[in-house]
Amino acid sequence: MTAMKPPATFKVENNDPYRMRTLEQILSLFDGGDFLRELMKDHRQLQVDLLDHKGEHGAKGCSGSMTITVSYALGNSGDVAMGATATFKGPKKPPSSAAAFINDQGELTLYSPMMRQMNEPVRDVADFDPDTGEVRDAD
């Protein structure tokens, strides 16, 4: 049986002062920090858009998203080329709404069928309790 070699390991120096320790440090590399500044500005605008939407339309459908994509390409000499994009999706405005009624001819109208019933003459009720005025059910 042949002895297996352990996988090659790379020695990592923990005292590397140039090591990127946070996501914020990595994002600040792009465009000399302009990418991160623009990202935070757009993030604030998304929050304002959410508040505006809630004020105008309520909390239903009040959602948004932010997507950050960082791409890496490793070069032959160990260098890493990086690219970053950010997309924001704000809350969608709800569809416009209206209300109408359908008349006997199948057309839309603003005239309510309930209004038609209100304009009919009052009918007489013969079977009622004279003390309370309660109408009795006809069985």
Query: Which pair of structure tokens corresponds to residue 7?
Result: 């996988």
Measured between alpha carbons, how far apart are the two ends of the chain, in Å? 98
Rounded distance between C-alpha atoms, residue 111 and residue 118, angstroms: 12
Rounded distance between C-alpha atoms, residue 57 and residue 109, angstroms: 27
What's the pLDDT tens digit per position in 73-125? 999 988 999 999 999 999 998 888 899 989 889 999 888 877 776 766 777 77
What residue spans define the domains of the chain?
Answer: 23-89
Question: How does the average pLDDT of the chain come out, rounded?
Answer: 87
Assessment of whether the complete model's pTM goes beyond 0.95: no
Among residues 7, 12, 26, the alpha carbon closest in space to that of 68 is found at 26
Give the Cβ contact number of residue 53 at 10 Å. 21
What confidence score (pLDDT) does residue 113 get? 79
